[in-house]
A and B are shown apart, each in its own frame.
Chain A
């Protein structure tokens, strides 16, 4: 009989990865190590911890036992080698960029991004000498032609915000690797339950853990995960990433890519980025995100099921125009979504309300179960008008290119009974129709 490998499955890892019963107290839940710092047994041990000769915790800005459980868990679920928990998803994106890029570097990014990410790339990073060229996520030639000699990173979202453009990770990753560059992917909308970007060629993944990973909407947090597959020391990459391949005076001339062929990125990100920029996650936050991840598989299945019911309802309503959901045959990425997202296309989507801005306002203000707020991925259903909120700093041209109009409404479908959600939407659409 042929021996088969024994590997733990996703649902098991969601509950157990990174955690063991507490050896001192027997506590089954991961304890909240609410301590800023950790005692050294002796001076030699202290020096060894500071110099990466021993593993362990020093100070909770650098690492914390509760956060470490969360970091291992998301790394296990994504199929990566490790992760760093950050104060927010934005902090995770920032940490990825500043670990690899310096003034004079360039990013090629999908145009279909969360507004906050767009702000960072388009308005803030240029002040620090890092420029970004935005391209149509679907236009592989556009990605290629935007590359410059100083390009150091390609970046997109698994599902674009808010139009749900599906990033063809395999093709963009191939282009990226052809140029000796890594591909960074924001996987917030999909979570590893719907798609594991590393399996398609992405090198780095980050999440706003505030969203589906948590599900409860009570914390802000981010997670940056490394696949460990990108070869920073390859001929095509070595000179492009001196932060990883040359001695770092800020850490005893450590050459991170020599220290570890797989974990160079995470070593630098923690030893410099988290240490110096300081956007760490609090242990209580990590605990709360862990509670969410424990039920991620069952929640995501229900999110998708409810979303399909809502989309089916909206498709039949006369006030509803285009629905941007890749499971629909008329979505431009339908075929790609079937290949990359066989379990479903998530629970966030947008549709265009046929009518005036006042009708849109009436629609949102009539909803009773849907909460009008700036978030997605909550267990509770949410609604927002992107043009006036999450994406309002974008120019009219950029809004158009991102597929956002005055009538665009974004929904995040929660875990309520779908019949109640449909009833809520039905009443709001009726009110909007009367306001026309």
Chain B
């Protein structure tokens, strides 16, 4: 599905289904230097189970035009604009990593428009190492290698993908390599500089589900504790032996956690 937001073309995957205004909608928001494809299985499931799905490509990512937005606050505003462009009053929102922060901020600012909030691999603060920030600023391939090394559990680094024949780390690397120069750096800085996470969490009014990965190095469990404490109506699912790329490493368990919630 193609939308126009702020004069820029925006792509949203709908699970090969037409948009049906009579159905509830789920908005999926990907993380840094990724695109809608990281939610392919989960978004397709909901699209074929009575939901409209909009798995967006953030500005400057995937098939969406424009420049990557420089802050979580800007992304939250953009999500509101996407809902306006799609004529959506309300939606459930699921975000991963940077997308989880954007979804959190969006839900806090627009409590009447978010029915349910799912945060996958969230952390507050979502600090990024100096070395990674520096490599991303140089558009150095090392940045992708660092992310890939930190985004999969030790077991996940060896493969054993639930999706037959797919080599997870290879696919993740190719997706990172597709992002345009500067996009990763902008995304990582947005994560790193976001300071409103706890205040936003306290302002969220809808039910929240946090799906955490026990072996997450990019967004360590310890950095989710304060966030979870600040949310007033939250439930947590922690996936054992899973890294930050939890939708790739545990697609079925992620879906099973989301299914009764969204």
Q: Which residue of chain B has the shortest Cβ distance to A274 in the bound complex?
A: B165
- A272–B136 Cα gap in the complex (Å)? 39
Q: Does A258 contact B (CB under 8 A)?
A: yes
B132 contacts across to A, CB distance below 8 A: 3
Q: Does A253 contact B (CB under 8 A)?
A: yes
Q: Does B223 contact A (CB under 8 A)?
A: no
The smallest C-beta distance from A170 to any residue of chain B, in angstroms, reads 18
A55 in complex: contacting residue of B149, B162, B174, CB < 8 Å: B162
Q: Is B146 in contact with A2, judged by CB distance below 8 angstroms?
A: no
The smallest C-beta distance from A271 to any residue of chain B, in angstroms, reads 11
Q: Is A19 in contact with B167, judged by CB distance below 8 angstroms?
A: no
Q: Which residue of chain B has the shortest Cβ distance to A228 in the bound complex?
A: B174
Q: Does B166 contact A (CB under 8 A)?
A: yes
Q: Which residue of chain A has the shortest Cβ distance to B144 in the bound complex?
A: A5
- A72–B156 Cα gap in the complex (Å)? 12
Q: Which residue of chain B has the shortest Cβ distance to A73 in the bound complex?
A: B159
B13 contacts across to A, CB distance below 8 A: 258-259
Q: Apart from A72-B161, A81-B167, A259-B13, list 4 A-B contacts with CB within 8 A.
A: A17-B159, A54-B41, A82-B170, A253-B16
Number of A-B contacts (CB under 8 A): 147
Per-position binary interface string of chain A over residues 1-26, scored 1 when its CB falls under 8 Å from any chain B CB and 0 otherwise: 01101111000000011111000000
B131 contacts across to A, CB distance below 8 A: 2-3
Q: Does A120 contact B (CB under 8 A)?
A: no
Interface stretch of the complex, out of A211-219, A261-269, A360-368, A377-385: A261-269
Q: Does A167 contact B (CB under 8 A)?
A: no
Q: Does A75 contact B (CB under 8 A)?
A: yes
Q: Is B167 in contact with A80, judged by CB distance below 8 angstroms?
A: yes
Given the known interface contacts A53-B45, A54-B45, the answer about A81 and B174 at a Cβ–Cβ threshold of 8 Å is yes
Interfacial residues of chain B within 158-177, with CB under 8 A of chain A in the complex: 158-167, 169-171, 174-175, 177
A231 contacts across to B, CB distance below 8 A: 178
The smallest C-beta distance from A363 to any residue of chain B, in angstroms, reads 44
Q: Is A7 in contact with B145, judged by CB distance below 8 angstroms?
A: yes
Q: Does B251 contact A (CB under 8 A)?
A: yes
The smallest C-beta distance from B132 to any residue of chain A, in angstroms, reads 7
The smallest C-beta distance from B157 to any residue of chain A, in angstroms, reads 6
**Considering the complex of A and B, which 9 residue pairs feature the smallest CB-CB distances, nearest first?**
A5-B145, A63-B164, A71-B165, A53-B45, A75-B167, A228-B174, A55-B162, A82-B166, A55-B163
B40 contacts across to A, CB distance below 8 A: 52, 259-260
- A190–B242 Cα gap in the complex (Å)? 35
A16 contacts across to B, CB distance below 8 A: 158
Q: Does B44 contact A (CB under 8 A)?
A: yes
Q: Is B37 in contact with A261, judged by CB distance below 8 angstroms?
A: yes
Q: Does B22 contact A (CB under 8 A)?
A: no
A76 in complex: contacting residue of B142, B146, B162, B170, CB < 8 Å: B170
Interfacial residues of chain A within 15-53, with CB under 8 A of chain B in the complex: 16-20, 48, 51-53
Given the known interface contacts A3-B131, A18-B159, A252-B16, the answer about A75 and B170 at a Cβ–Cβ threshold of 8 Å is yes
Q: Is B142 in contact with A68, judged by CB distance below 8 angstroms?
A: no
B129 contacts across to A, CB distance below 8 A: 3
Q: Does B115 contact A (CB under 8 A)?
A: no
Q: Is B164 in contact with A71, judged by CB distance below 8 angstroms?
A: yes
The smallest C-beta distance from A11 to any residue of chain B, in angstroms, reads 14
Q: Which residue of chain B has the shortest Cβ distance to A1 in the bound complex?
A: B131
Q: Is B45 in contact with A8, judged by CB distance below 8 angstroms?
A: no
Q: Which of A53, A54, A260 has the most chain B CB atoms closer than 10 A to its own CB? A: A53
Q: Is A54 in contact with B252, judged by CB distance below 8 angstroms?
A: yes
Per-position binary interface string of chain A over residues 98-142, scored 1 when its CB falls under 8 Å from any chain B CB and 0 otherwise: 000000000000000000000000000000000000000000000
Q: Is B177 in contact with A72, judged by CB distance below 8 angstroms?
A: no
Per-position binary interface string of chain B over residues 123-149, scored 1 when its CB falls under 8 Å from any chain A CB and 0 otherwise: 000000101100000000010011011
- A258–B53 Cα gap in the complex (Å)? 14
